[in-house]
Amino acid sequence: MGLILLEALAAGLVFILIIWWTMFSGRKKGELHDETDAEEGTRATDRNPPPKP
C-alpha cells in the first residue's frame, strides 16, 4: 500500500514539474512580434477584410 502511495506522489510531482516547465520556460522577453505590424499599428486580421456579400 505504501508503495502505491509513493508511486502516486512521484507521478504527481512529475506532473507538476511538467506544468511548471511549460509555463515558465519561454523566452526571457516574451514572444517575438512581427515588426511590420508594430510599425503599421495593424493586426493580421485587418490586412484582408472579409468580402462584402
| pLDDT tens digits, one per residue of 21-39 | 998 887 677 666 666 555 5
Note the helical H segments in 1-53.
2-24, 35-40, 44-47
CA gap 43, 36 in Å, rounded: 10
Q: What percent of the chain has pLDDT over 70?
A: 58
pTM (whole model) above 0.75: no
> Which of 39, 38, 37 is CA-nearest to residue 47?
37
pLDDT of residue 43: 56
Distance CA 21, CA 25 (A): 5
